[in-house]
Amino acid sequence: MGTVAAHGLRKSFGKVQALDGVTLDVPDGSFFVVLGPSGAGKTTTLRAIAGLEKLDAGSVHLDGRDATGDAPADRDLAMVFQSYALYPKLTAYENIASPLRARRCSSSEIAAAVERMSSLLHIERLLQRRPAQMSGGEMQRVALARALVRSPRAFLMDEPLTNLDLKLRVEMRTELTRIHRSLGATFIYVTNDQVEALSMADQVAVLKEGKVQQVGTPAEVYERPANQWVAGFVGSPHISLLACRAEGDRLVGESWTLPRPRWAMAEDGRPLLLGLRAENVSIEQRGDASLPGELYGLEPLGDRTVVDVRVGTEILKVKARPTVTGVPGERLQVTVDLDRAHLFDADTGLSLS
């Protein structure tokens, strides 16, 4: 069992089942991301672990000990929220020092801790400034330093980068992973941003409607999604799903057939969805894994262009060179890398690959 383990968490608010049996085992020292859309139950999960939410059922274990009934203050967990207000009248140094002062640490202990944290976050030159004399991003760093200056059992972070502009957000992702490595602490980090999750996590738990859909490394969740929903939620552009059936050695869609891959374990005639990521499809005719379509739209993204190809009545997204051109309606042939394709049961959504 990891540092933090939650088993069968259930919580409803009136008619809303916010948590419907959430189980998570967070390995010691890991950067564990809880990923899901708005309303999935991420914040409620974090609050339940922190002891801020009274559960209908389930248990929380900390370092192997049942802590379900413990008060929040007795759990030795630090919660970092979206907006962390600094004390306006205190300097950055005093803001960072405040949690340690509250714990009656000595001045030399405080000085050492503030120095370490400000060097980690590159804010040494800001220490004598007050919040009004700092930019938003600088304040965010100071606030993060204040949250991280303690050494709790684990840090619980609820979308802490939400209020930053995109450039700073991307920078802070790298910072946070670097800080995580150097502190060696356990981070449980909630986000609805799959890019953030994939770029920072050691382990990701994907949550939907109060249920854990999959737990795995970012690569596992991206390359081996447990179901159609996870496949669609993780990855940008989103995965294309084409309706089809297996017929002998073929996969047969509305307007196409492809050789049936060896791994495709589905009974003939069963409704399926073929999942294709944009990077595993190319606009060219090559080999026998190719299908006919017509150009529907182009989305230039600088380093690449995403081409929407209409296949029958469905749209297939294809990652192409930035120089690709074409006119809507133009007929073309696309080739798919079937070894990297996914197959889902259309009724249950479960992966068959």
Residue closer to ligand ATP, measured from CB, 51 or 253: 51
Among 13, 64, 107, 109, binds ligand ATP (CB under 6 A): 13
Please tell me whether residue 44 binds ligand ATP under the rule CB under 6 A: yes
Measured between alpha carbons, how far is 50 from 30 in angstroms, rounded to an integer? Answer: 17
* 204 belongs to the binding site for ligand ATP (CB under 6 A): no
Q: Rounded to an integer, what distance in angstroms lies between the CA atom of residue 273 and that of residue 346?
A: 6
> Which of 40, 55, 144, 206 contacts ligand ATP by CB under 6 A?
40
**Given the DSSP bridges, would you call strands 57-62 and 4-13 parallel, antiparallel or unpaired?**
antiparallel
Binding segment for ligand ATP (CB under 6 A), chosen from 10-18, 124-132, 134-142, 336-344, is 10-18
Continuous H helices in 103-258? 107-120, 136-148, 166-183, 194-200, 218-223, 228-233
Applying CB under 6 A, among 30, 118, 192, 227 the residue interacting with ligand ATP is: 192
Question: Under the criterion CB under 6 A, does residue 326 sit at the interface with ligand ATP?
Answer: no
Q: Which residue lies nearer to ligand ATP by CB, 43 or 214?
A: 43
For residue 34, the minimal CB distance to ligand ATP (Å) is 8
16 binds ligand ATP (CB under 6 A): yes
Q: How many CB atoms lie within 10 A of CB 155?
A: 23
CB 210, min distance to ligand ATP, A: 7
42 lines the binding site for ligand ATP (CB under 6 A): yes
Pair 281, 335: CB distance under 8 Å: yes
Residue 208 interacts with ligand ATP (CB under 6 A): yes or no: no
Segment contacting ligand ATP by CB under 6 A, of 1-9, 36-44, 265-273, 288-296: 36-44
Contact call for residue 39 and ligand ATP (CB under 6 A): yes
DSSP letter (8 states) at residue 134: S
Alpha-carbon dihedral angle through residues 20, 26, 31, 34, given to the nearest 10 degrees: 0
Q: Which two tokens stand for residue 142?
A: 């100071």
Two tokens at 296? 């529907």
Whether the Cβ atoms of residue 112 and residue 77 lie closer than 8 Å to each other: no
* Contacting range for ligand ATP; rule: CB under 6 A; set: 42-50, 171-179, 267-275, 319-327: 42-50
2 or 36, CB closer to ligand ATP? 36
Dist. CA 353–CA 351, nearest whole Å: 6
Using CB under 6 A as the binding rule, whether residue 160 contacts ligand ATP is answered as no
**Separation between Cα atoms, residue 311 and residue 188, nearest integer Å:** 41
Applying CB under 6 A, among 18, 258, 291, 338 the residue interacting with ligand ATP is 18
Query: What residues line the site for ligand ATP (CB under 6 A)?
Result: 13, 16, 18, 36, 38-44, 192
